[in-house]
Amino acid sequence: MSKEIVALNVNGMPYEIAVEPQVTLNEALREYLGLTGTKFGCGAGECGACTVIVDGKLVLSCSTLAVAMKNKNITTIEGLANGNELHPIQEAFVNYGAIQCGFCTPGMILAAKVLLDENPNPTREEVKEYLAGNLCRCTGYIKIIDAVLAAAKAMSKGGK
């Protein structure tokens, strides 16, 4: 099968990769670019572990082809921090113990980022509803929801 050159903008950096047409965005990020923060979970778009942000919207990278992402702006978990300074959402997840095994964490944090970009002051119920597409087997969600609400407060006081 012939490869296609795909220009991607990932975390503010331009990349050109040669991929076969069936390569998913998840594979491209992890295997071609070495950005392993984006996880591969179910492979069917059901668990949210592979969530990334594409042009401001949540995208499940396991069920999205890399060739469909030409010239799109993609943000992975690696692109959220500012150098060694964690994003307020990342800080809140750490401070509130919203991570245990950490497998779902990148997708949860990116989903929370889009939620808070769209709705800077969500209710507890709105956070639950927005994160419903991201599954966690460890935390029971309470700490995750608490972390998102704490991040919303921190961000309203001048965070990112």
Distance, in Å, from the CA atom of 120 to the CA atom of 24, rounded to the nearest integer, reads 31
- Structural domains of the chain, ranges and CATH numbers in brackets: 4-78 (3.10.20.30), 88-156 (1.10.150.120)
**What was the pLDDT predicted at 157?**
86
Transcribe 88-151 into DSSP letters: HHHHHHHHTT--SS-SSHHHHHHHHHHHHHH-SS--HHHHHHHGGGS--SSS-SHHHHHHHHHH
Q: How many CB atoms lie within 10 A of CB 125?
A: 9
How confident is the prediction along the chain (160 residues), in pLDDT tens digits per residue? 799 999 999 999 999 999 999 999 999 999 999 999 999 999 999 999 999 999 999 999 999 999 999 999 999 999 999 999 999 999 999 999 999 888 999 999 999 999 999 999 999 999 999 999 999 988 779 999 999 999 999 999 876 5
- Strand, helix or coil for residue 57: strand
With a threshold of 0.85, does the pTM exceed it? yes
Measured CA to CA, the distance from residue 151 to residue 160 in angstroms comes to 10
Look at residue 159 in the predicted model and tell me its pLDDT: 60
Cβ-contact 47, 135 below 8 angstroms = yes
Q: Give the pair of three-digit tokens for residue 160.
A: 């990112």
